[in-house]
Amino acid sequence: MPIGILGTKLGMTIMFDKRGNQIAVTLVQAGPCTITQIKTKEQDGYNSIQLGYKTATKSKLNKPQLGHLAKTGETSLNFLKEFKNKSNEIIEKNIITVNDFSVNQKIKITGSGKGHGFMGCHKRHNFARGPMTHGSKNHRLPGSIGAGSTPGRVYPGTKMAGNKKSSKTTLLGLEIFFIEPDLNLLVFKGSIPGKKGSLVKITSM
């Protein structure tokens, strides 16, 4: 069983199972990924593998990155991610593809969620609104943000309106619904974090 693979989210669509039930699925173009480094407990203190994904122009990489990739015979790879080898599995191959996975296999996916720009405190922090009737004008106001002369300032971290940036999100127990080796496609049941074209990290459970 492979430890993991890197991929690109293509988007969502629908597919049908053997009973004809409609299922929402996410398409991910995964791999092929090159193993660029194998870390061992004796040498590095823990067991893991480092995977490289997608070729990049040499001008986008610095000299330490090019020197690191030259040890594996690769010219340039855009993304490098590390996967913990908790089962101490012996890695015998240099490239990981979708053929190493199986249908109905449970996996863990990590990606960067969508950013939503500037938001008010109600949408950003799920505040409750004020009364809509009886002369109230406090419909979507943030309310008090602190006391008066003591402490005389607004505490850092107070929930207020602001930019809701993208955040790293991990989903556990997602199921592989379909595999298309010719197109390097993994199809997962349900949705996964990230927008179209974003990098996702797929880890076996």
Q: Mean pLDDT, the chain, as a whole number?
A: 87
Q: What percent of the chain is predicted at pLDDT more than 70?
A: 96
What average pLDDT does this structure show over 187-205?
91
CB-count burial class (<10 Å; 0-12, 13-18, 19+) for 26 = buried
Element (H, E) at 48: strand 48-55
Cα(134)–Cα(64) distance, rounded to whole angstroms? 67
**CB atoms closer than 10 angstroms to residue 77:** 21
pLDDT tens-digit map of 47-96: 888 888 888 777 778 888 888 888 777 777 888 888 888 777 667 778 88
Q: How many other C-beta atoms can be found within 10 angstroms of the C-beta atom of residue 179?
A: 17
Q: Does the structure show a pLDDT above 70 at 8?
A: yes
What pLDDT sits at residue 65? 81
* Domains detected in the chain: 4-135+161-204 (2.40.30.10)
> Using one digit for the tens of pLDDT, what is the confidence trace for 119-129?
999 999 999 99
DSSP assignment of 99-158 equals GGS-TT-EEEEEEEPPP-EEE-HHHHH-PPP--SSTT---SS-----S-STTT-SPPTT-
> How many other C-beta atoms lie within 10 A of the C-beta of residue 38?
14
Is the pLDDT assigned to residue 10 strictly greater than 80? yes
